[in-house]
Amino acid sequence: MKEYSFTLKFNFHDSQTDPSSYIEQLYESGCDDALIGIGRQGSIALDFIREAQSAFEAISSAITNVKKVIPTAILVEASPDFVGLTDIAEIIGCTRQNARNLILNNKPRSPLPVYEGTPSIWHLSEVLTWLKEDKTYVIDESLIEVSSINMNFNIARNWQKIEPALQENIRVLVA
């Protein structure tokens, strides 16, 4: 079994719900390996260090544990996933400017941002895989695995917002 570190952020269906009312139940339902953040009414964040056979098993079991206690909880974000240049620089141990140059000087092979602007945002797993495979950086495999699974959860969460009648047409157009 390996240890996986990740954070899950949820909103409640009722924004007036007091998240502190769920802390004991979450602990008892299997979230005893998480630090629980309740800073805002109507939302909760859980920072896990969970042992499992795979990142998918760790993350999906954590989501299941939360949904068992709060069935109407809405997954807002699974992280780590979305990163900016500062995050990338911190992970690889360089300055933000060096991370920027690394990505800009290696186009078109460097990963495409999810959002190109100020700041640009990338999926962490795509950046880490590129750094490992193209740039021969030594990257923690469990971080690649967790960020890849989180990317999939975040994409699936957003995909559900697309009108079902448009999904196939959109899938074909962006392929």
CB 82 within 8 A of CB 114: yes
**Block residue for tokens 């795979």:** 54
List the pLDDT tens digit at each of the 175 positions of the chain. 999 999 999 998 877 778 888 999 999 999 999 999 998 888 999 999 999 999 999 999 999 999 999 999 999 999 999 999 999 999 999 999 999 999 999 988 999 999 999 999 999 999 999 999 999 999 999 999 999 999 999 999 999 899 999 999 998 998 8
The per-residue pLDDT for 40 is 81
Distance separating alpha carbons of residues 31 and 3, to the nearest angstrom: 14
Token pair, residue 6, equals 């990740």
Q: 51, exposed or middle or buried, with CB in 10 Å at 0-12, 13-18, 19+?
A: exposed
**Block residue for tokens 């962490």:** 124
Domain ranges of the chain: 2-79, 82-146
CB 139 within 8 A of CB 132: yes
The per-residue pLDDT for 117 is 93
Beta bridge partners of 85: none
* CATH architecture of the domain with range 2-79: 2-Layer Sandwich (3.30)
What's the pTM? 0.90
The per-residue pLDDT for 17 is 75
The per-residue pLDDT for 19 is 84
